[in-house]
Amino acid sequence: MNIENTKAQMRKGVLEYCILSILNGEDKYASEILESLKDAKLLVVEGTIYPLLTRLKNAGLLAYRWEESSAGPPRKYYALTETGRLFLKELDATWNALKNAVQLVTK
């Protein structure tokens, strides 16, 4: 068993949840989402996020719109949809339960 693989799996598992959380209450474009994730050290390389965003969008959890930017080409702003908000709520509960469970076990 490769420790790096296990770590990567763990991170990937929560990445979806984190992306939805980042977009909760504020629409952001890819680079801003990336910044948050990289600051939190959740993301090692940026490439991982693009297939995820597309998948979340195709699943109806995210929507995007193009917005002009003062510096450079238009940006793709992502926002939570109503389904996405409900999804996130559910994940919040799951995450809390999981956090408590892990804390209990690893004590």
Task: Enumerate binding residues for other proteins (CB under 8 A).
Answer: 9, 12-13, 16, 30-31, 34, 44-48, 50-55, 57-59, 71-73, 76
Q: Which is nearer to other proteins, 9 or 83 (CB)?
A: 9
Give one word for 73, left, alpha or beta, with left for phi > 0 and alpha for psi -120 to 50: beta
Handedness of CA 79, 92, 90, 15 (dihedral sign): positive
CA distance 87 to 7: 25
Residue 19 CB, shortest distance to other proteins, in Å, is: 12
CB-based contact 64:76 (threshold 8 Å)? yes
Q: Which two tokens stand for residue 33?
A: 């989402």
At closest approach, how far in Å is the CB of 81 from other proteins? 16
CB of 27 to other proteins, least distance (A): 16
C-beta of 7 vs 55, nearer to other proteins: 55
**Nearest distance, CB of residue 18 and other proteins, angstroms:** 14
